Structure formats: structure tokens, C-alpha cells
Amino acid sequence: MAIRLIIDGYNLIRQSPSLREVESRNLQMGREALIHQLASYKRARGHEITVVFDGWQSGNLTENQQWQRGILVIYSRQDERADEVIKRMAKRFGQGAVVVTSDREVVRFAETVGATAVSSEEFDGRMGMAVVMEEKGVDTEEAEMGIVRRGTKKKGPARRPSKNRRRAIERLKKL
């Protein structure tokens, strides 16, 4: 089952060294570079991706939504921050959503409504690895978890995480 990624666009750009460099030259180029990387990630993993940008200072009076390269791009309306749009979407999709942001307030809200939250830095690394692994033809899930097929038996006592934590771990494995 594909998961829905809700991404805080400017937060991810400013946490990623390569995207930050592009954005420092031109804001529009930074957004386009992010959408290009997300489109490659979508081809590799097949998740539904929504990226939300702030439009609160100079945006439209209404929320602006458009599709670019298979990615839903949302600009918040004037006088509304992207964080509010992300919270609204996290609440709507609940357990089916993974929120990508390093904003602690948004992370806490997402976890409260049942969504899983991932820091922008961690997602940037996973996104880069997924794209590279797809190009090499390697199963990214197994590579991320370090799975080596040997047939060994597990040893030691098992400690089972809580049900909510197990669900979150399963969603994160799909990234």
C-alpha cells in the first residue's frame, strides 16, 4: 500500500545541503529542484506526494493547488502558513500519512492525530538513497534495513514495541 507523504517544502529545502545551495541563488529554482527530486523519488517508491509551500506573505487570497511532475504542489493562501495546511492534511489522512518536517510543533501535532513524522534531514537522506538504489536496480527496502539473506536464526529475548510504534515503524520502512 502506498503511503501519502505531506512535505513542508521550504523546511526540506533549507535542511538539504544541495537544495539549500540552489535556493540561495534563486527561490523558484530551489522549489523546482525539490519537485524534480521528489518526482524521481515517486518513480522509485510510488508514494503519493504532496509538497506544501508558504504563500502567507505574498500569496493568493485562496489556496493554490497544482500538479507538477506527478506531485501535488500546494501554496497556502495569504495570511495562512504552510504549517496550518500540513496540520489540516495530517488530521484528514491520519495513520495513512507521513509528515516530513523538522518543525517540532507540526511533528507533535502529526503524532497526536496518528500520522508518522520524519525529520527533513532523515527524509532527504532516504530520498537520495532510494533514487540511487533504483538506478542501480537494488531493492531499496532491504538495503535500507541492512537485510542480508543468510538464513540465520534470531537470538536473545524479544522486546515488542507498542502497537502505535510498530505501525510507525512499518510506515517508515516504506519510505
State the pLDDT at residue 108.
Answer: 95
Residue-wise pLDDT tens digits, 81-99: 899 999 999 999 988 899 9
Higher pLDDT, 145 or 46: 46
The order of strands in the sheet holding 4-8 is: 64-68, 71-75, 48-53, 4-8, 97-100, 116-118
Residue 101: other Cβ atoms inside 10 A: 27
Q: Which three cell numbers stand for residue 25?
A: 541563488
pLDDT top residue among 3 and 62: 3
Could you tell me the residue ranges of all domains in the chain?
4-173
Q: Which of 51-55, 108-112, 154-158 is the most confident on average?
A: 108-112
Residue 156 has pLDDT above 70, yes or no: no
Question: And the C-alpha cell for 32?
Answer: 523546482
Question: How many other C-beta atoms can be found within 10 angstroms of the C-beta atom of residue 154?
Answer: 5
* Residues 128, 145, 35: CA angle, nearest 5 degrees: 20
> Which pLDDT value is given to residue 148?
44
Residue 104: predicted pLDDT: 94
Q: How far is CA 22 from CA 8, 27, 30, 56, 113, in A?
A: 17, 8, 5, 22, 34
The H-or-E segment that residue 15 falls in is helix 9-15
Q: What is the pTM of this model?
A: 0.76
pLDDT confidence bin for 157, thresholds 50/70/90: low
Asked if the model's pLDDT at residue 105 lies above 90, the reply is: yes
